[in-house]
Amino acid sequence: METTARLKLDMLGCRFGDRWVVRDVSLELFAGQVTCLLGPSGCGKSTTLRIAAGVETPTVGSVHIDGDLVADAHHSRPPETRGIGMMFQDFALFPHLTVLQNVAFGLKERKRERHDRAGELLAKVGLKGFEDKYPHQMSGGEQQRVALARALAPRPRVMLMDEPFSGLDNRLRDEIRDETLEILKDEETAVLLVTHEPDEAMRMADQIALMRAGRIVQMGAPYNIYNNPVDAEAAAFFSDINVIHGVVRDFQTDTPFGQFLTPNLVNDADVEIIIRPQHLKMDFDRQGSGPLPTPQDGVAARGAVERARFMGSESIIELAMDHDGSMLKATIPGVFLPKRGTPLWLSLRRDRCFVFPCKAQSRVNDPYLR
């Protein structure tokens, strides 16, 4: 088993003029591992990828590939000397070359060996028999497969991918992503994938690095990062959330759903209690027709249906709560479309709630902004 990281980013920072776009980014990627840089547009994830590729030079920090220093603030090896593969939103296939010639382009072996390697990869991506076609004769999904085969042809130990599936329709995107992941794992390639789509990161990644304002704010396996968000903003990035506001009194916070223990927060602190829509329970009365609520469900609170929509696999119900008129959203599998104004009682799973202090807005202590 390899112990040296295929790709290591160490405290990377990148500044354009007076603005830091990447700050204190550290990552390690190993053979066969897919790491997703996930975050909204403009958070610095593509710049991080470009630094790893050699297209940008870091202002601070360093990049190592297979233990060798390839970039720091003083020097940067060109991309073609780093032994990495790259895939971007634009497939960038050569229109005047056949599929086989596109895949073999850039290989250093003799002609027969280039031909064999290209043919092997085309078969692996399901394009056997397409060797003599030209890119314009192929669909978007087929062109995506050619781009993947070409990127893998030189046997890169690291693959850098920047939103490579964004141009495909949803159904085809899932199919191509799954095929791509299987091939990359089979080749034991270390992958750094940039995406702004949480579903894509959850589907593909062994490890997710959630970025915000140039920094990695949370990193971990998809299950852990989804179920243990670092703050309300991280929770909201992965799904719809409901936010219930409260104030700490004697290490407890009163809510319409009963008291929440908040032992690590000082008195008078403003807190946000986060609950995802699928973790709210709905009943037509306080007890409902099923088992009585358990202690972890807390106190039930009543609201009136504002709107209900069927989304295919689930129904989304929005309710105006009696206690303050605030809106809460709940989901339920299948078809459930109560009329507007229907009273319903909500209870919540306390073990599925997240309690966070309200975020301070001041950033004066950020050294990068001085």
**What are the pLDDT digits (tens) for 119-160?**
999 998 889 999 999 999 998 888 988 988 998 888 899 999
Q: What is the 3-state secondary structure (H, E, C) of 60-129?
A: EEEEEECCEEEECCCCECCHHHCCEEEECCCCCCCCCCCHHHHHHCCCCCCHHHHHHHHHHHHHHCCCCC
Q: What is the pLDDT at residue 61?
A: 97
Mean pLDDT on 79-91: 85
Mean pLDDT on 74-79: 92
Beta strands 84-87; 158-162: pairing state: parallel
Q: What is the pLDDT at residue 289?
A: 44
Q: What is the pLDDT at residue 361?
A: 34
Confidence grade of residue 286 (pLDDT, cut at 50, 70, 90): low
Closest of 14, 10, 84 to residue 47, by C-alpha: 14
Question: Given a cut of 90, is residue 350 above it in pLDDT?
Answer: no
d(CA 24, CA 14): 9
Mean pLDDT on 330-348: 94
Q: What is the pLDDT at residue 297?
A: 58
Let me know if 120 is exposed, middle or buried by CB neighbors in 10 A (0-12, 13-18, 19+).
middle
Give the amino acid at 85: G
Closest of 78, 83, 257 to residue 156, by C-alpha: 83
Q: What is the pLDDT at residue 288?
A: 44
Q: How far apart, in Å, are the Cα atoms of 129 and each of 6, 114, 117, 137, 291?
A: 34, 17, 15, 13, 61
Question: Given a cut of 60, is residue 360 above it in pLDDT?
Answer: no
What does the mean pLDDT of the chain come to? 88
Q: Which residues contact 322 (CB under 8 A, 6 or more apart)?
A: 301, 302, 303, 304
- Phi-psi domain of 188 (left: phi exceeds 0; alpha: psi -120 through 50; beta: other): left
Q: What is the pLDDT at residue 252?
A: 87
Percent pLDDT > 70 in the chain is 93
d(CA 102, CA 97): 6
Question: Given a cut of 90, is residue 364 above it in pLDDT?
Answer: no
Q: What is the pLDDT at residue 260?
A: 86
* Pairwise pLDDT comparison (178 vs 34), residue with the higher score: 34
Question: Given a cut of 50, is residue 367 above it in pLDDT?
Answer: no
Alpha carbon 14 to chain centroid distance?
22
**What are the pLDDT digits (tens) for 179-217?**
888 888 888 999 999 999 999 999 999 999 999 999 999
d(CA 224, CA 116): 42
Question: Given a cut of 50, is residue 4 above it in pLDDT?
Answer: yes
What is the end-to-end Cα distance of the chain in Å, rounded? Answer: 44
What are phi and psi for residue 268, nearest 5 degrees? Answer: 75, 5
Question: Given a cut of 50, is residue 293 above it in pLDDT?
Answer: no
Q: What is the pLDDT at residue 298?
A: 65
Closest of 182, 179, 231, 181 to residue 201, by C-alpha: 181
Residue 12: in which H helix or E strand, if any? Answer: strand 7-16
**What are the pLDDT digits (tens) for 301-328?**
999 999 999 999 999 999 999 988 899 9
Alpha carbon 323 to chain centroid distance?
36
Let me know if 294 is exposed, middle or buried by CB neighbors in 10 A (0-12, 13-18, 19+).
exposed
Mean pLDDT on 337-351: 92
| Residue 278: DSSP 8-state | G
Q: What is the pLDDT at residue 165?
A: 84
| Residue 279: DSSP 8-state | G
Q: What is the pLDDT at residue 323?
A: 85
Confidence grade of residue 287 (pLDDT, cut at 50, 70, 90): low
Residue 238: in which H helix or E strand, if any? Answer: helix 232-238
Closest of 83, 194, 88, 87 to residue 150, by C-alpha: 87
**What are the pLDDT digits (tens) for 234-282?**
999 999 999 999 899 888 888 888 888 887 888 888 999 999 999 999 9
Confidence grade of residue 177 (pLDDT, cut at 50, 70, 90): confident
Residue 273: in which H helix or E strand, if any? Answer: strand 270-275
